[in-house]
Amino acid sequence: MTADNDKKQQSHKKKMAKLKDNIDATIAAANTERGVGILLTGNGKGKSSSAFGMVMRALGYGYKVGVVQFIKGVQLSGEELYIRDKCPEVTFHQMGTGFTWDTQDRSGDIAAAETSWAIAEKMLQDESYHLVVLDELTYMLSFKYLDADKILNALRNRPESQSVVVTGRGGGTELIDWADTVSELKEIKHAYNSGVQARKGVDF
Amino acid sequence: MTADNDKKQQSHKKKMAKLKDNIDATIAAANTERGVGILLTGNGKGKSSSAFGMVMRALGYGYKVGVVQFIKGVQLSGEELYIRDKCPEVTFHQMGTGFTWDTQDRSGDIAAAETSWAIAEKMLQDESYHLVVLDELTYMLSFKYLDADKILNALRNRPESQSVVVTGRGGGTELIDWADTVSELKEIKHAYNSGVQARKGVDF
């Protein structure tokens, strides 16, 4: 090792030791152990896929998982194929009406939303679920298809050990207040806008 | 149905039909079919989990997937458990040194980064991989553990059908230029800062 490298190594070690002290102190300060509420919002790519990554995490530890997908379900998706085929232990429900611009039927959409919500609500009352994913739930609120108070109450009164992930653009201040962790996914750029098609096994 | 509801329904239908025309036109305009480069960056929660959600998507279609996790690998994670146990068909490598503030060893970190990169580079030359995840690669660039030009060249020269997801804070303008899709995950809030511990099966 040259003298210059040795110096770099020493200065690195010193900086990292200090950083470790700070990080250890922060970890020690976080001492409440309970399920968390997570909101993944914003217009960027990655909200639903992030929720399904957490499904994989929970399954890795053998935890029980429930998923309700609002809106989605007309076009086949990789996560649907995977969960139906490989994870029969996951409770999986899709509203299945597709996007509002496809159905063009407000009353039908509302009825489907209510049916899907009833399934979600049961999960939120069942402490055997370690993780519940409510994919694209925010749209049900912004379209006023579901009553916000009803949803917020169910989220707030869920079992203490249960974590919930809500995805979708928007969501409003009440959902943000409810959530312990909120990430806003900002679209910096998207392949779509350069004429590249949505990719099978990546985008859906 | 009341007259008011009927009116709402009609106005909804009209709005949605117009929206559908716009969306159909945008879809028709995106006609290039190829693998995409995705960068998930920012300080918010959800970058790695989003990458693993895409792994699930790709596996749903039976596509071949490779994952290299830079940094991670000392603490056990749900995604690691799941992939090692349930997805032996996924090529999975972890750098395994842990965080820089834990190793406090710059030379050792660089050697481990080079070894991990060699594995990633082979995936980027192998068109049988539909999806390659390079989890937390950005830190290897910001710490100058790996040569940025070498990495960018490999990303740019990968097979046309292959998609690549790179995660990690920062990443620099070259990675952003390379990527077709970039989402910045902004931390709006994090459970951690309210004293809530990272949750098993959700955060790791």
Q: Looking at the structure, do residues B11 and B66 belong to the same domain, yes or no?
A: no
SS3 state at B144: coil
The pLDDT score that the predictor gives to residue B42 is 97
Domain membership flag for residue A202: no
Are residues B78 and A86, on separate chains, in Cβ contact within 8 Å?
no
CA angle B138, B140, B144 (to 5 degrees): 115
Q: Looking at the structure, do residues A143 and A126 belong to the same domain, yes or no?
A: yes
Domain membership flag for residue A199: no
ipTM given for this complex: 0.88
Domain membership flag for residue A118: yes
Domain membership flag for residue B200: no
> Which residue bears the tokens 């020269």?
B157
Q: Looking at the structure, do residues A85 and A123 belong to the same domain, yes or no?
A: yes
Q: Looking at the structure, do residues A108 and A83 belong to the same domain, yes or no?
A: yes
Chain A residues with CB under 8 Å of B54 CB are 49, 53, 201-202
Nearest Cα residue to B135 out of B199, B77, B59, B60: B77
SS3 state at A185: strand
Residue B170 to residues A28, A68, B167, B184: CA-CA distances in angstroms?
27, 33, 9, 9
Domain membership flag for residue B136: yes
A68 Cα to chain B: minimum distance (Å): 16
Strands (E), A27-180: 37-41, 65-69, 91-94, 131-135, 163-167
Q: Which domain does B5 fall in, by range?
A: 1-31
Residue A1, pLDDT > 60, answer: no
CA B126 centroid distance within chain: 19
**pLDDT per residue as tens digits for the range B112-146:** 999 999 999 999 999 999 999 999 999 999 999 99
Q: Tell me if A38 sits within 8 A of A103, measured CB to CB.
A: no
Q: Looking at the structure, do residues B126 and B161 belong to the same domain, yes or no?
A: yes
Domain membership flag for residue B73: yes
Q: Looking at the structure, do residues B10 and B100 belong to the same domain, yes or no?
A: no
Q: Looking at the structure, do residues B80 and B55 belong to the same domain, yes or no?
A: yes
For residue B37, what are the contacts with CB-CB under 8 A and spacing of at least 6?
B155, B163, B164, B166, B178, B179, B180, B181
- Confidence class of residue A99 from pLDDT cuts 50, 70 and 90? low
The pLDDT score that the predictor gives to residue B17 is 85
CATH number for the domain including A72? 3.40.50.300
Domain membership flag for residue B199: no
Nearest Cα residue to B170 out of B127, B140, B128: B140
Q: Looking at the structure, do residues B4 and B94 belong to the same domain, yes or no?
A: no
**pLDDT per residue as tens digits for the range B164-188:** 999 999 988 999 999 999 999 999 9
Q: Tell me if A16 sits within 8 A of B104, measured CB to CB.
A: yes
Helices (H) and strands (E) in chain A, counts: 8, 6
Q: Looking at the structure, do residues B11 and B87 belong to the same domain, yes or no?
A: no
- Confidence class of residue B101 from pLDDT cuts 50, 70 and 90? confident
**pLDDT per residue as tens digits for the range B83-95:** 999 999 999 999 9
Residue B2, pLDDT > 80, answer: no
Quick one: average pLDDT of B13-26?
83
Domain membership flag for residue A201: no
Are residues B86 and A82, on separate chains, in Cβ contact within 8 Å?
no
Residue B53, pLDDT > 70, answer: yes
Nearest Cα residue to B39 out of A1, A88, A46: A46
Q: Looking at the structure, do residues B89 and B139 belong to the same domain, yes or no?
A: yes
- Give the count of Cβ contacts less than 8 A between chain A and B: 304
**Residue A53 is nearest to which of B52, B80, B194, comparing CB atoms?**
B52
Of chain B, the percentage scoring pLDDT greater than 70 comes to 97
- Please name the residue of chain B whose CA is at the shortest distance from the CA of residue A163: B202
Residue B123 to residues A25, A184, B2, B134, B162: CA-CA distances in angstroms?
39, 31, 61, 10, 10
Q: Looking at the structure, do residues B141 and B186 belong to the same domain, yes or no?
A: yes
The pLDDT score that the predictor gives to residue B150 is 97
Are residues B61 and A103, on separate chains, in Cβ contact within 8 Å?
no
The pLDDT score that the predictor gives to residue A9 is 85
Residue A74, pLDDT > 80, answer: no
Number of domains in chain A: 2
Q: Looking at the structure, do residues A165 and A142 belong to the same domain, yes or no?
A: yes
